[in-house]
Each structure stands twice: as structure tokens, then as C-alpha cells.
Amino acid sequence: MNPLAWLQAWQQALTPQASAPQSSTAQASPPQAAGLAGIPGFAPPAGVAVAPEKMLEIQNQFSQQWAALCGEATRGALAPVSDSRFAGQAWANSPAHAFMAHAYLLSARTLLQMADNVEVPDTAREQIRFAMMQWIDAMAPSNFLALNPDAQQKFISSGGESLQQGIVNLLNDLQKGRISNTDETSFEIGKSIATTEGAVVFENALFQLIQYTPITARVHTRPLVIVPPCINKFYILDLQANNSFVRYALEQGISVYLVSWRNPLTTDTDGIQQATWDDYIAHGVIQALTVAQEVSGQDQVNTLGFCVGGTLLATALAVLEARGESPAASMTLLTTLLDFHDTGVLKVFVNEAQAKLREAQFAQGGLLAARELGNTFAFLRPNDLVWNNVVNNYLKGEAPSAFDLLFWNADGTNLPGPFYAWYLRNTYLENNLKIPGKTTVCGLPLDLTTLSVPTYLYGSRDDHIVPWTSAFASTQLLKGPTRFVLGASGHIAGVINSPVKNRRNYWVNDVVANGAAPAAGADPQVWIDTARSVAGSWWPDWATWLKSHSGAEVKAKTALGNKQHPVIEAAPGRYVLARAM
């Protein structure tokens, strides 16, 4: 197959039409009016429109860039392609394939320009752009054996064995029902991952509470209770010794308790499939705080919530505040949304029809499958988590490398349907949590603005799940003293950034944090413009802050649990071992 023939549809689709539209808008239905007729498989929704002057500008720009690209190809002067999908030597060695890569990237940019300029409400435009991006990524020439010179070269050099192994890999993944993105045989929970020593000292139908063994001779009197997200396994915070957040906290002389959420299964008949948001607050977070107080003998504990765990934690503390109870001396929220005004790319999945569908689906209980959640998150970064693995695993027949974070990512959890339906409506759809009294939790009006506990807020600058500006918005919702820290990288890699590796950087704004510039404190752009960058991990900054709320140091106790809450089993416990099928 001549790869240049594949590009003809793209070039024809994006070339300006001979006659200008007569109406005030260029309608995308029929497709010819928007210049999309030649793109195979693209069927834009009826009514999508681009202003004719803007469409003409985009088409003219494409024509100029196309002509320049063809000129460079004719002169043999094509620049190297920086996109990692086309960075292999085989792409550079083949002028036809190098031209195809450049043409694809030019066409992709142009199509996204068109999506960005459709005259529809912002929400609809974002949905169109997301759908366009999915189609563009799926149609990359690197994803097809007939168009990928790297895969073809490997096929030839291996005598066809690469394709044979790729078929085996594909069949194995079909059996598992998901794409393999790491060598899962390299890790075993409790043996090579989630190995920090400790014990389960409490369990109920929703969670186990792990108390970790101190590793310093002296510890601070006030312990830390960690609430991880219930949509993932807790051991993202305890991967291996050199990148374990739990172990790092222990090394700072902090006693640590951690919630290990149960993974509900379709075979469970004890009522967990009917669990609600209120259940997770009352019998989950609040119960965990109570047990940690009873075991530690402290009236107050420090608290930390990660992602959805942070939303659960803040909600639970607000419920306790409404009851006149204040068990938390401090709160840490990592990549957490309390104000859901801007939820990033996830907003394209949320609308009233979807919320009503879920409410009807889970009216009598049931489970939202881990596979559905996993697919959703994978297609937020399709090139990294989908198509890269398609190319390597199937076209090239390679075995995925061993990567602890990706092992965790593949170990998904199911969610009780009623819990998910309530969460979807009250957060992503209606943003009710930020409005005092708009919703009730555990029979009480919810008011997060009553929380005056000192709070450490962390956001990741490149987070596509919790935009850092939305994590920053909690500084305006919470009434207590807050310290906001912005880390480099994304939702997970930004958080799991151990000082051992001395990687990346983070930003702090001491002037705003100290209250010297209250006007700047309300504006995230002003915050980042006046912030200073600090090299390395943000963990030491957090540890310094946490110690100021952790009380005096005392001799560490080696025995875990107490008479009221004896040790049940060794960490990491049974609950984390349950696999969603």
C-alpha cells in the first residue's frame, strides 16, 4: 500500500471549497459545507456550525502549510518528527512515511482548530473536541501495521515472529477484557508491592483500617489517618520502599493509619451493592477516625484525603462539625475537588440524561464495574494508555515492561451503584457540595464552609482529572488557614514524587499563604505568577507543615491495636487482594 494514497482524503477534506457559503454560518451537515467530506468515518452531529470567515481562514492556513510541507518533502528537507509515535528510525529512513507523519499531524491540528471554532455552547464544544481527539488519535498511521514502518521492520527482522507473538498478546488481552500496559507477573501485593509493615486493627463491610508499625524510635503523639480514593486500591500510596508515601510519613516520626476500601464484587450478597454516599461517610470515614482516636488515645488526629478520598474526608468532617465534634487537628487534601465548577476533561461525560440513567440503573443497587471506570480514564490519555500499547503489544509483539504504577492502575475496583449515582449528580453535575445547605449528608445540611481546620492543599499542574485551579478553589471555600502547594506533572505522578529520586519541582507562594496579599489569594493566575519554584519533591514541605500539627514526640509503641481493637491480620489485609473481574 502506498502511504501517500492514504493522505489524499485528508488533503481533499481540508482544501478550501471553490465557492464561499452564502449563509451566515457554514453548516457541518451536510459535511461538504465544512470541508470534512473526505474524512473517512467522521460524521459530525447535525447543527454543528463554523463561521464561514473562520472556516476560510483555517482552510487557507491549511493549504499554505500543506504546500510548504510538500515543498520540504520534494527538496528532501523534512524536519525530524518530534511526536514519539513517529520518532523511530524507520520513520526517518522512509521519506514517504516521514511525509505521512507530518501530514497526519498537520491535519490533526487543523481538525482540532475546526472543533475549537464550532458555534455551540462551551460544553458542547468541549464534547465535540473530545470526540474529535479520540478519532484523530485512533486514526494515527502508527496504529496500523500497513502504515507503521517500525512494526513492518520488526516483522521482517523477526521472520514474522513479532506478529505471531502480537496475536498471542491480543488473544490474552481479549481473555482478560483489557489491554495490558505492564508486566503484571512482576508484582504481588504484600510481597513486592504494598509491603510496609503493619496490621489491620478494624474492619467492617466497607473498609479495613491498617495501623502501620513505627520505624523511628520516637513518634509524634498525634497520628495521621489517610483516606485514599475508593475508586482505586490504597497502595498507590505504598508502592515500593523508594516511592512509598506511607513509609515516608513513618520515617518522619508520624504514626499512620490508612483506610483500605473493600472492592465490592458481583457475588457479594451482604448489602454492599446498596451502599450509599452516606454509608461511606458514616460507616467509612467517620468510623475510621473514631477507631484511630481510640487506638492512639488522642482526642484529635491529623487527616489526609487523596482525590475522591479527599472529597469524602472533607464531607465527613463537615458532618462531624454539624454534630459539634472536631476530631481533626489538620486536613491534607491531595488533588481533591470540593468545588466542581471546572472538572476538566471529565465534564464531557456528564449531563442530566446520564445522571438520570445511572439513578434508574442503580435504584435497587448494583455495581459500577471497574472495567467501565478504567476505560473512561484510559481514554482521557489514549495515546499513552491505549494506542501505545496496541502498537507495542500487538503490532510489534513486545512484552510490556514492569511498572508498579501501571500495575496499580490495572487493579481497578467496582463501586456501589447508589454511591456513584449520588456522587455523579451532587458533584460533577450540580456542584452541590460547595453551596451551604444545598444537600444533606447523614441527615444534616452539608456546609463545607464551617471547616476551620488548618489545611494543606496540593494540586498537580498537569492534572487532567483535577485541574490545579479547581484544587486551588478550595482555598476560597474553606475558612481555616490554608497552605496551597502546586506540584509538577499529573494526577498520580505529581503526588507520588518521592524525595529519594529528587525529581521535578513544586511551587509555593509564601506571600499569599501568609495573608499579605489577600486579593492575589483568590486568583489562581495571580498565585502562580507570583509563586516561586522549588526543586525536588513537595513531600518535605508537607512533612514540615504536618509536624507543626502533630504534637510532641514520645517513645514509639511497638504493639499495634489495643484491647478494644486487637490485631485482625497483617497488612496489607484481605480487602486489597480482591480483584474486580
Q: Which residues are catalytic?
A: 307
How many Å apart are CA 458 and CA 538, to the nearest integer? 9
How many Å apart are CA 149 and CA 139, to the nearest integer? 16
Per-residue cell: 376: 473512561
Checking phi first, is residue 335 left (phi over 0); if not, alpha (psi -120 to 50) or beta? left
Of 259, 235, 233, nearest in space to 245 by CA: 235
3-state secondary structure of 20: coil
Give the relative orientation of helices 95-116 and 52-75 as an angle to the nearest 10 degrees.
170
3-state secondary structure of 507: strand
CB-count burial class (<10 Å; 0-12, 13-18, 19+) for 49: buried
Query: What is the bridge-based pairing of β-strands 482-487 and 455-460?
Result: parallel
CB 495 within 8 A of CB 458: yes
Instruction: Give residues with Cβ within 8 angstroms of 472, minimum separation 6.
Output: 457, 459, 484, 486, 524, 527
CB 572 within 8 A of CB 539: no
CB 135 within 8 A of CB 387: no
Of 134, 117, 121, nearest in space to 28 by CA: 117
Task: Supply the DSSP string of 324-347, one letter for each residue.
Answer: T---EEEEEEES--SS-S--GGGG
